[in-house]
A and B are shown apart, each in its own frame.
Chain A
Amino acid sequence: MSIKIEHISKSFEDVTALKDISFEVNEGELFGLIGPDGAGKTTLFRILTTLLIADNGSATVAGYDAVNNYKDIRNHVGYMPGRFSLYQDLTVEENLEFFATIFGTTIEENYDLIKDIYVQIEPFKKRRAGKLSGGMKQKLALSCALIHKPKVLFLDEPTTGVDPVSRKEFWEMLKRLQQKGITILVSTPYMDEAALCDRIALIQDGKILEIDTPQEIVKHYPKKIYDIKADKMYELILSLNTYEHNHSVYPFGEFVHYTDQRDDFNPTELIQFLEDKGLENISIQPTEVTIEDTFMELAR
């Protein structure tokens, strides 16, 4: 077991950030913590990386207790905070060298681990970190978090504010790191990224809603989902919300994801209802359940 969390709770003055959280992450697993802003993801990361002490419960990382053996944890984990937090006035190379030195190692020693990532920013190694683009900053931060060959890697919203291409590249890098035997705990508010994890935990308001593989989580969805489309999106949502049999109505890209309360839902009846409301070019199609749908359903 690479990470073991048992009944962790944490409050800040009048806000409860985490309520009785328990889960485990297997060795070599790519585990996603999925939830909106303010769900408690960062607080959990800070507890696991020994920056914060939980009010209740216990956690072990790489076999070390987060409170009693925090020094060992610091030697064996890599942490990439959500905010870029390297020295902006040092160059790419200097930053990497600095973190290598602090961990008592050298760039050469673990070069093969970061090679994939670092080669992409190596042409700019004399550039100051503050002058890098968002995607390059993120690659540098990941390189710095990996330079001491950690057993467990904590990535707190690594793709927030990063362009779609860099995001995709980043997840490919994570997959490759996973193959090298590093356990990865990653948090993200993006539901589409959840599907790339081995297992995910859906978290909201400091509580775990569900933990499973992305495939299983989707299967647990109790309803059949329909993509509904019409000319006027906003009025479509308003109209659907007034429909007496609706179970849930969420905008989803160019469609509205709709579920009905009844098991024997008949689309033609709904089309009629919408046409009466003055909507045109209505289409209703059954669709695949996504993790976002599951999350929305659980968070209701």
Chain B
Amino acid sequence: MSMKIIGYIIQKEFKQIFRNKAMLPLIFVLPLIQLIILSNAATFEVKNIKFSYIDHDKTSFSRALIDKFDASTYFNVTTDFSSSKMANAAMLKGEVDVVLEIPQYFERNLLKEKKTDLSITINAIDGAAAGVENVYINQIVQSFNKKALVTLIQPSDLKNRQKNILSIPSFWYNKTLNYKTFMVPGILVLLVTMITLFLSGMNIVREKEIGTLEQMNVTPIKKHQFIIGKLFPFWVIGLMLLTIGLIIARIIFNVPMVGNIFLMYFYTSVYILVILGMGLFISNFTDTQQQAMFIAWFFVVIFILMSGLFTPIESMPKWAQFLTEFNPIKFYVEVMRMVMLKGSNLTDILPQFGKTLLYAVVMNGLAVWSYKKVS
């Protein structure tokens, strides 16, 4: 009897979801467009840096340095300015990102005194980009420096030559440091989370809004029947989104799938329970879909920004790092990357899985407890 009622509610929910012609593309098409666009767009690489210079020296050395920037794929050498005043004006207008000022006697000082200064100005409106640009510039200047040293070294100096330590980095699990490999699992996580949270959060509130909840509440239907019946369809939709997302990741982005697919599904199926519990909890404390949407957004934005998806958790302040321990999205991002890229097994993801499971139990417990048939 109980199962029959739950089954009937599920059937009813699916009918309603598939009848909502406006909602269906929103659920399935938009997230996938987002996956494709975001995965291509959200990289941390900075390219096409607008590079300009002021060359007070005008020697073969200064030109060689500028040529090195020109040869780099990251920099577009746009202009040379005759004075720093003009360069500053161009920076203010946003025409250039980086200004390199080569002082007079650059070559002479380098040859005679073996040292010289360079002035570099970076537009730091976007702090993250400026940091990356700084690293690029340093790399180029250092490599120039090395070459220059070789040219400058006299045979007598040979024994004093500093020993260079050359590091050869090797990026495991993502050999080419391909950002898409890294981003796709993360963005897939976002989509599964957002869609299931918004849908479940708004669903019960919608019944409140149209008055059907009151009608349901006078029926002998049990709390658990109603809740399971209402949330199960979104659990299915979440897993469907994961499936479509994985297919796209494989076909379009060629993301490696080293790990066990079933482990991903197993983890996701528990993870979605956390999100559905949250959605139900939100809808218990709101009266309109608008309110539910705002609260859902509030949590989603915090969870996403503190998930380690866009900014590394290691660079956050201590208190923020502590807070991320309560972020289910963080665990999900970690698990997806671990399983997809590294082939981690259940034992490896056990800490994340345990926390997620605990979260699911607590969240759903709270949600069911706060759902009342009587006002």
A residues with a Cβ closer than 8 A to B are 46, 49-53, 70-71, 74-75, 77, 79, 81, 83-90, 94, 98-99, 101-104, 144
By Cβ-Cβ distance, the 7 closest A-B pairs, closest first, are A85-B211, A101-B8, A79-B218, A85-B215, A74-B220, A75-B220, A83-B211
What residues of B have a CB within 8 angstroms of the CB of A103 in the complex? 219-220
In the complex the two chains form, what is the Cα distance from A89 to B1 in whole Å? 25
Give, as a whole number of angstroms, the nearest-CB distance from B366 to chain A.
Answer: 22
B218–A98 contact, CB under 8 A? no
B375–A89 contact, CB under 8 A? no
A49–B5 contact, CB under 8 A? no
Give, as a whole number of angstroms, the nearest-CB distance from A129 to chain B.
Answer: 10
B residues with a Cβ closer than 8 A to A are 1, 4-5, 8-9, 12, 15-16, 19-20, 210-212, 214-221, 373-375
In the complex the two chains form, what is the Cα distance from A77 to B8 in whole Å? 22
Task: Using A70-B374, A83-B211 as known contacts, say yes or no to A102 and B218 having CB atoms under 8 A apart.
Answer: no
In the complex the two chains form, what is the Cα distance from A104 to B16 in whole Å? 22
What residues of B have a CB within 8 angstroms of the CB of A86 in the complex? 212, 215
What residues of B have a CB within 8 angstroms of the CB of A79 in the complex? 215, 218
Task: Using A86-B212, A89-B19 as known contacts, say yes or no to A99 and B219 having CB atoms under 8 A apart.
Answer: yes
B219–A81 contact, CB under 8 A? no
A51–B212 contact, CB under 8 A? no
What residues of A have a CB within 8 angstroms of the CB of B4 in the complex? 101
What residues of A have a CB within 8 angstroms of the CB of B216 in the complex? 102
Report the number of A-B residue pairs with Cβ-Cβ less than 8 Å: 66
In the complex the two chains form, what is the Cα distance from A85 to B217 in whole Å? 12
A51–B374 contact, CB under 8 A? yes
A81–B215 contact, CB under 8 A? yes
Task: Using A49-B218, A51-B217, A84-B211 as known contacts, say yes or no to A102 and B16 having CB atoms under 8 A apart.
Answer: no
Secondary structure at the A interface, as helix, strand, loop or mixed, is: loop
Closest chain A residue, CB of each to CB of B212: A85
What residues of A have a CB within 8 angstroms of the CB of B16 in the complex? 87, 89-90
What residues of B have a CB within 8 angstroms of the CB of A46 in the complex? 375
B220–A71 contact, CB under 8 A? yes
What residues of B have a CB within 8 angstroms of the CB of A83 in the complex? 211
Task: Using A74-B220, A104-B1 as known contacts, say yes or no to A50 and B12 having CB atoms under 8 A apart.
Answer: no
Task: Using A50-B374, A87-B16 as known contacts, say yes or no to A102 and B210 having CB atoms under 8 A apart.
Answer: no
What residues of A have a CB within 8 angstroms of the CB of B5 in the complex? 101-102, 104
What residues of B have a CB within 8 angstroms of the CB of A74 in the complex? 218-220
In the complex the two chains form, what is the Cα distance from A104 to B15 in whole Å? 20
B15–A94 contact, CB under 8 A? yes
What residues of A have a CB within 8 angstroms of the CB of B20 in the complex? 89
Q: A52-B374, A103-B220 are in contact. List 11 more A-B contacts (CB 8 A).
A: A74-B218, A74-B219, A75-B220, A83-B211, A85-B212, A86-B212, A87-B16, A87-B212, A88-B210, A90-B16, A102-B5
Interface centre among A49, A51, A77 (most CB of B within 10 A): A51
Closest chain B residue, CB of each to CB of A128: B19
A53–B374 contact, CB under 8 A? yes
The answer, among B1, B8, B19, B211, for a CB contact under 8 Å with A81, is B211
A51–B218 contact, CB under 8 A? yes
The answer, among A51, A71, A90, for a CB contact under 8 Å with B15, is A90
9 A/B residue pairs, CB under 8 Å, sorted by A: A50-B218, A74-B218, A77-B218, A84-B211, A85-B214, A86-B215, A89-B20, A101-B5, A103-B219
In the complex the two chains form, what is the Cα distance from A268 to B220 in whole Å? 65
Give, as a whole number of angstroms, the nearest-CB distance from B323 to chain A.
Answer: 36
Give, as a whole number of angstroms, the nearest-CB distance from A296 to chain B.
Answer: 32
What residues of B have a CB within 8 angstroms of the CB of A87 in the complex? 12, 16, 212
The answer, among A49, A88, A98, for a CB contact under 8 Å with B12, is A98
What residues of A have a CB within 8 angstroms of the CB of B373 in the complex? 51
In the complex the two chains form, what is the Cα distance from A259 to B249 in whole Å? 84
In the complex the two chains form, what is the Cα distance from A102 to B8 in whole Å? 8
Interface centre among B15, B210, B215, B217 (most CB of A within 10 A): B215
What residues of A have a CB within 8 angstroms of the CB of B374 in the complex? 50-53, 70
Give, as a whole number of angstroms, the nearest-CB distance from B53 to chain A.
Answer: 65
In the complex the two chains form, what is the Cα distance from A86 to B218 in whole Å? 13
In the complex the two chains form, what is the Cα distance from A51 to B210 in whole Å? 16
